[in-house]
Amino acid sequence: MSEISQVIIKNERVKNLQAGHPWIFSGGIVRVSEGLGNGAVCRICDQENRFLATGYYNKHSEIRVRILSFADEAINRAFFQRRIQTLRADKEQFLPPDTDSYRVVFGESDSLPGLIVDKYADVLVIQLHTAGMDRLREAIVGALEEVFQPRCIYERSDVSVRLNEGLKTQPKQLLAGQDLDEVLIRENGILFWVNFKEGQKTGFFLDQRENRSLVARFCPKRRVLNCFAYTGAFSVYAVLAGARSVTSVDISGKALEYARKNFEANRINTKKYMFIEHDVFEYLKSVQADEYDLIILDPPSFAKNKEQVKKAIKAYITINSKALEKLPPGGILVSSSCTTHIDQETFIKILHQSAVNTHCRLKVLAATMQPHDHPYNLSFPEGRYLKFFVLQKVC
């Protein structure tokens, strides 16, 4: 790479970089080579001009540089092909049997910052969050085609995080292969339809795969209420595990149509179960005490940024308190948070406050986080986001 594409960082920031953190903030930069464009690949050096890493630069972001490699190498299709092939091998070795879908690339945690790739059977869905990855789109798509030979590669970069990079939200678009709307996937031998064009995020919440199996162990003979049910994945697991009844509640009628479709895909008679299109906060007000003895709360993120955290905490306490209020003694509360800006300790405090509000205690039966295909590195704790608890109400 030429001298023009260099970023010189302060020597006191070198240790943090060498420890593996993938970001360099604006305050850590001494100077940037003239002509270095937003999203352009660059060499990162210390003040003695010693090479440290390869990354990409963006003056519009407080995170000025994101690291791609600690080698002085070209960032091209061959680079992505090597990285993605390695990630595929690493992740597939830990997948449960009869499962064909997982997160191939999880941004910084997989050393490809700004890139998300989800594999749904033979369909790949990608998100490009940063200017750097946006400029590398062609190389990424070519590498994915080489590694997976997918039936379809579809882009879902219709995300607001791109605005922080000085980018527009990207229209949904087909990048390669057949123009499909949906795909049937297998997870632990269970079938699910994924609408990757119109569904939330990339179409399905792969990060709850292990947690769905976990919750199923507590469902036999119980009356289950699945709140924020989306396309009914937790509900399908509950039915197949032998729940006495399962009610799925979501504000989206379209999502519940897919919930019914997923029941049918697994040969479950939808007429035996309830699908309710309603705001969950309002619905819980109408629930009779002891009507359900297992309630699942898996809401979308309540805080998109740090400024919304206080409001999010209040919402989590409200929804968990309301659910606990309706559960009988010995009932099970499954509570999850995908809000990055609320850490594990804060979420535990939220759950405890919810118990205090409803004059009960909560026994922790299980506590987990995101699965191996959504990893987080100890050098990058920002990659940890999912908090998941199975709790028993004790009075």
Kindly calculate the radius of gyration of the chain based on its CA atoms and give it in whole angstroms: 23
Residue range 105-128: mean pLDDT, rounded: 98
pLDDT band at residue 4 under the 50/70/90 scheme:
low
Q: Are strands 123-128 and 115-120 parallel, antiparallel or unpaired?
A: antiparallel
CATH of the domain at 168: 3.30.750.80
pLDDT tens figures, 237-251: 999 999 999 999 999
| 27 & 87 share domain | no
Residue range 267-296: mean pLDDT, rounded: 97
pLDDT tens figures, 10-58: 999 999 999 999 999 999 999 999 989 999 999 999 999 999 999 999 9
Containing structural domain, residue 350: 205-394
**Catalytically annotated residue among 45, 152, 338, 360:** 338
Average pLDDT, the chain: 96
Rounded Cα gap, residues 228 and 337, in angstroms: 12
Q: Domains in the chain: how many in total?
A: 3
| 369 & 256 share domain | yes
Rounded Cα gap, residues 21 and 14, in angstroms: 10
| 158 & 256 share domain | no
Residue range 216-220: mean pLDDT, rounded: 98
Q: What is the pLDDT of residue 1?
A: 41
| 210 & 139 share domain | no
Domain annotation covers residue 38? yes
SS (H, E, C) 111-141: CCCCEEEEEECCEEEEEECCHHHHHCHHHHH
Q: What is the pLDDT of residue 283?
A: 97
Residue range 84-89: mean pLDDT, rounded: 98
| 90 & 108 share domain | yes
| Whether residue 338 lies in the annotated active site | yes
- At 139, give phi and psi (nearest 5°): -65, -40
CATH of the domain at 213: 3.40.50.150
Name the nearest CA neighbour of 82 among 71, 93, 66, 94. 71
Domain annotation covers residue 336? yes
Residue 2 has pLDDT above 70, yes or no: no
Token pair listed for 134: 């946006």
Q: What is the pLDDT of residue 305?
A: 85
